Amino acid sequence: MPAPSPTISENRLFLSGNEAVARAVWESGCKVAAAYPGTPSTEMLEVISTYPEIYSEWSVNEKVSLEVAIGAAFAGSRAFCAMKHVGMNVASDALMTLTLTGVIGGLVIAIADDVGLSSSQNEQDSRFWGRFAHVPVFEPSDSQEAYEMTKLAFDFSEKHQVPVILRMTTRINHVKGLVVVGERVAHPNTGGFQKNPARWVMTPAGAGKRIPLMFERDQALRAAAEASPLNVVDGGRDRRVGFVASGPAWMHVKESFPDAPVLKLGFSCPVPVEKIRAFAKTVDNLVVVEEVEPLVETELKAAGIHCHGKDILPKQGELAPNVLKPAIAKLLGEPAPENLAKPAPVFPRPPTMCVACPHLGVYYTLSQIKNITISGDIGCYTLGAGHPWNALDTTISMGASMGIALGLDKGRGEADKDKRILAVIGDSTFLHMGMQGLLDIVYNRGNVTVLLLDNRAVGMTGGQPDPGSGRDIHGEPAPRVDFAKLVEALGVKKERIHVVDPYQLPVLFKTIREEIKIPEVSVIITNQPCVLIDDYKKQKPYEVIDEKCTGCGNCVEVGCPAIHVVRREKVVKPSGKEVELQFVRIETSVCTGCGLCVQPCAPDAIVPADPSKPIRLVKH
Amino acid sequence: MPESNVTNILVVGIGGQGVMTATEILAEAAIALGHDVKKTEVAGMAQRGGVVSSHLRFGPKVLSPQIMPGTADLLVAFEAAEGLRWCHYLKPGGLVLLNTAHIVPPVVDIGLYEYPADPIAEIRAKGYRVHAFDAMKIALELGDVRLGNTVMLGAMADHLPFPAEVLLEAIVKRFRARKPQMVELNQRAFEAGRAAEKAAAHQKAEAIA
């Protein structure tokens, strides 16, 4: 949970885009809000959960969160759900039918696109969902607009009985700016759920009758976009280039070309083609600046409007001024702006697992086992693909480790005949989309060993609770799912289910070794909490006795960030083999005493730290 | 947009060092003076030992939240190699306030990459100025390694387009609201950082002389 942002004055706050949306959801009289955590969208629900007037929940996945919001909107209340871009792929099944029924109470869906890939498996443009589902898309460009557009979206949703997508990107979600806010206005329920099967029950016959209504609505939405004050021309003495831009791209255009005219698209789907056509006539060159895909550009070209876009701008990443300026200079035939200073070549600093993370022992163990293929999943444990473990062979999407493992098993070629197939998945991911995959493995008699890493939290996004935590979004006690019973209910044989302490390396190693030999599905559940959540108990730190350290480097292989190599030495073994010794120290100030590194240390050089000695910082 | 009216400060370090909190406090000071302020960083995975860079821009009106390379007025590096990684964001000849701590990532420990031998010398070789001091040691001497970000704020205090007292007030206000028992210690950390920076600046001047 992030610390609340400061109150500057009663109605002027310094808020991130996510916080601004949450505030607007509250002010709009919303009654129900649901989400599954995912960077950069997570804080929206975290902040909403602090408002007692709104029912809020962490759902098990985005589809369920949208379904909860849909139910509330059908019941006549205002509803909200938030997700990251890949979450909408999961929720889209519900969205594509919701577009036919529409809503009664206002329903706003905030989608956070991770433009620039700060922490996602892909970069995708959620504006397409608006076009695909025939629903309007609003695009704020900073916190103030995120706040205002959220409120407008609720009103618009009710007026047209259509869900509204609020498309945000990392540079709105995680940018803080000053926001002038208002007060909550209660929004009365419209009189409860009204039975109307022709509208709410989408059988083929019912849905067939709703499709023409959706096209009719498209006309109204297009007219609204053409007339919307959210789509407005701004500035413009220098008419050589006119820009069409939305979201943070608009900020970058204004910053880079303060004198150029810019048509800002705040209401970008349906595209206000006629407004843009009129604007195009007032400038020499029209350039469409959009992060990620050329969606507006393609539509303009189809309408016969000449424009530039992805022919001069990158299709990947953020369109910050250092990207825009050189591209436009080239278009105008001007010399490129002075070469921007180049970064120094410094070692990469990829994210790592935390000190004492219960996953460390799992990946250390996996890295010691030969002849296995490991399908991975989305979460902290994806970091097991990195150094020093290199213990993941695939990562596609949330829950996919299960189905992919089955596919690796069933599709194995002669070369993989003797390979063992492992799948790794976290507790939250398993509940999100993994259960069905495991059921499929069981049902189709796959030969897969599943490692279910239960750390009682959604670790990657900051330790939010899930049905495996025993707590709800407010930190209140909640029923905790019993994973051993759950996987047994899915059909895994009782004797093939093991619950193992991931800090007990010999037991973990033995269990994995035994289970991969048995040609049927087994599930090994690890049961230690994430070190970032309250359940984790710190113990006394360890230190290395320098004189005893033989430089074997076994502890380094565990991958704990508290262990540092302070000296390397090349030696030739009696066998003639040259090896590099790595002498280590432990950063006692951060060591939590989990004891993982003690176990592979042959010379017993790692011992409890002497509390009387001052903390020694390891430094090169 | 009169760009020259916007002050750009880039604060960088490693997840967990308090980079984001320090920038937030700096932002609060700028807000208190009536500026328009924008602040952004890439969080998410970065909190797991990755690089954190926090952009702060303030002035009469701020549009883009991101600082362009070559335009930062000040770079505050909570870690030595990170100072080198980000120094090209500075204006030519710009100043780096640098914590000399070397936080070595696992990819270096296992021998895949090398930690730069002398990051400070490399930054200076690129034409930037560096004031370097051991903020971690100062924080530990005051009793808590977590005071490191307040030490760094103290070091910034005399390089801002507003009086140091405004920044100190923002720190005090924050702790008074959340951890009143920590107010005095943070005031001391702030002053210690300020003094360490002065000494570092003086040392550099002597070295040149």
CA distance B93 to A59: 51
Number of C-beta neighbours around residue A456 at 10 A: 23
pLDDT digits (tens, 9 = 90+) for B132-151: 999 999 999 999 889 999 99
* Of A116, A175, A568, Cβ closest to residue B39: A175
pLDDT digits (tens, 9 = 90+) for A576-591: 999 999 999 998 888 9
pLDDT of residue B208: 62
pLDDT of residue A339: 61
pLDDT digits (tens, 9 = 90+) for A288-303: 999 999 999 999 999 9
State which residue of chain B sits closest to A339, comparing Cα positions.
B70
Stated as kind and residue range, the H or E segment containing A362 is: helix A358-367
State which residue of chain A sits closest to B66, comparing Cα positions.
A320
State which residue of chain A sits closest to B29, comparing Cα positions.
A8
Radius of gyration for the alpha carbons in chain A, expressed in angstroms and rounded: 28
DSSP 8-state secondary structure symbol assigned to residue A433:
I
Shortest Cα–Cα distance, A537 to chain B (Å): 19
CA distance A62 to A39: 13
pLDDT digits (tens, 9 = 90+) for A433-448: 999 999 999 999 999 9
Number of C-beta neighbours around residue B129 at 10 A: 14
pLDDT of residue B202: 86
Scan residues 48-87 of B and list those with Cβ closer than 8 Å to A.
Answer: 48-51, 62-66, 68-70, 81-82, 84-87
* Of A3, A346, A351, Cβ closest to residue B85: A346
* Of B27, B85, B107, Cβ closest to residue A343: B85
Secondary structure of A488-518 as H, E, C letters: HHCCCCHHHEEEECCCCHHHHHHHHHHHHHC
State which residue of chain A sits closest to B51, comparing Cα positions.
A349
Q: Share the mean pLDDT of chain A.
A: 94
Scan residues 34-53 of A and list those with Cβ closer than 8 Å to B.
Answer: 39-40
| Chain A residue numbers touching B50 (CB-CB < 8 A) | 349-352
Q: Do B37 and A565 touch (CB under 8 A)?
A: no
Q: Do A174 and B136 touch (CB under 8 A)?
A: no
CA distance B184 to A92: 53
Among B6, B102, B109, B175, which would you mutate to test the A interface (most chain A Cβ atoms within 10 Å of its Cβ)? B109
Phi, psi (degrees; rounded to nearest 5) at A358: -65, -15
Cα–Cα distances (Å) from B51 to A347, A429, A518, B63, in that order, read 11, 26, 43, 25
pLDDT of residue A1: 43
Q: Average pLDDT of A277-288?
A: 97
CA distance A512 to A528: 17
Among B17, B40, B169, which would you mutate to test the A interface (most chain A Cβ atoms within 10 Å of its Cβ)? B40
pLDDT of residue A341: 73
Q: How confident is the model at residue A2 (pLDDT cuts 50, 70, 90)?
A: very low
* Of B28, B87, B106, Cβ closest to residue A352: B106
DSSP 8-state secondary structure symbol assigned to residue A477:
B
pLDDT digits (tens, 9 = 90+) for A111-162: 999 998 888 999 999 999 999 999 999 999 999 999 999 999 999 999 999 9
pLDDT of residue B203: 83
Q: Share the mean pLDDT of chain B.
A: 91
State which residue of chain A sits closest to B102, comparing Cα positions.
A619
Query: What's the sign of the alpha-carbon dihedral A122, A123, A129, A131?
Result: negative
pLDDT digits (tens, 9 = 90+) for A211-231: 999 999 999 999 999 999 999
Q: How confident is the model at residue B1 (pLDDT cuts 50, 70, 90)?
A: very low
Among B33, B45, B179, which would you mutate to test the A interface (most chain A Cβ atoms within 10 Å of its Cβ)? B45
Q: Do A176 and B122 touch (CB under 8 A)?
A: no
pLDDT digits (tens, 9 = 90+) for B44-55: 454 578 889 999
Among A14, A39, A346, A556, which would you mutate to test the B interface (most chain B Cβ atoms within 10 Å of its Cβ)? A346
Shortest Cα–Cα distance, A306 to chain B (Å): 28
Interface A-B: count of C-beta contacts within 8 A: 175
Tell me the helix, strand and coil percentages in chain A, rounded to 5.
35, 20, 45
Global pTM value: 0.94
Q: How confident is the model at residue B110 (pLDDT cuts 50, 70, 90)?
A: confident
Q: Do A387 and B87 touch (CB under 8 A)?
A: no
Stated as kind and residue range, the H or E segment containing A522 is: strand A522-526
Both structure tokens of A499:
């619950």
Stated as kind and residue range, the H or E segment containing A136 is: none
| Helix, strand, or coil (residue A95) | helix
* Of B27, B50, B108, Cβ closest to residue A347: B108
Q: Do B137 and A565 touch (CB under 8 A)?
A: no
pLDDT digits (tens, 9 = 90+) for A62-116: 999 999 999 999 999 999 999 999 999 999 999 999 999 999 999 999 999 999 8
Number of C-beta neighbours around residue B1 at 10 A: 18
Percent of chain A at pLDDT > 70 equals 97
Say whether residue B45 is in contact with chain A using an 8 A CB cutoff.
Answer: yes
Query: What's the sign of the alpha-carbon dihedral A500, A502, A507, A509?
Result: positive
Q: Do B28 and A14 touch (CB under 8 A)?
A: yes
DSSP 8-state secondary structure symbol assigned to residue A548:
T
Stated as kind and residue range, the H or E segment containing A59 is: none
Scan residues 92-151 of B and list those with Cβ closer than 8 Å to A.
Answer: 101-102, 104-116, 122, 126, 136-137, 140, 145
Q: Does the pLDDT of residue B33 top 80, yes or no?
A: yes
Q: Do A6 and B101 touch (CB under 8 A)?
A: no
Shortest Cα–Cα distance, A328 to chain B (Å): 16
Beta strands in A214-332 (DSSP E): 231-234, 241-245, 262-265, 267-269, 285-289
Number of C-beta neighbours around residue A580 at 10 A: 12
pLDDT digits (tens, 9 = 90+) for A393-423: 999 999 999 999 999 999 999 999 999 999 9
Q: Does the pLDDT of residue A620 top 50, yes or no?
A: no
Are residues B49 and B16 in contact, defined by beta-carbon separation less than 8 angstroms?
A: yes
* Residue A511, C-beta contacts closer than 8 angstroms, at least 6 positions apart: A498, A500, A524
Number of C-beta neighbours around residue A477 at 10 A: 9
pLDDT digits (tens, 9 = 90+) for A18-49: 999 999 999 999 999 999 999 999 999 999 99
pLDDT of residue A106: 97
Say whether residue A380 is in contact with chain B using an 8 A CB cutoff.
Answer: yes
CA distance A87 to A292: 17
CA distance A70 to A78: 10
| Chain B residue numbers touching A14 (CB-CB < 8 A) | 27-28, 31, 37
Both structure tokens of A114:
């991770």
Are residues A378 and A121 in contact, defined by beta-carbon separation less than 8 angstroms?
A: yes
pLDDT of residue B207: 67
Q: Do A619 and B101 touch (CB under 8 A)?
A: yes
- A12-16 and A175-180: which strand pairing? antiparallel
* Of B36, B40, B51, Cβ closest to residue A178: B36
Scan residues 545-584 of A and list those with Cβ closer than 8 Å to B.
Answer: 556, 559, 561, 563-565, 568, 580, 582
Q: Do B109 and A565 touch (CB under 8 A)?
A: yes
pLDDT digits (tens, 9 = 90+) for A556-576: 999 999 999 999 999 998 899
Among A9, A118, A176, A339, which would you mutate to test the B interface (most chain B Cβ atoms within 10 Å of its Cβ)? A176
Scan residues 273-312 of A and list those with Cβ closer than 8 Å to B.
Answer: none
pLDDT digits (tens, 9 = 90+) for A155-197: 999 999 999 999 999 999 999 999 999 999 999 887 899 999 9
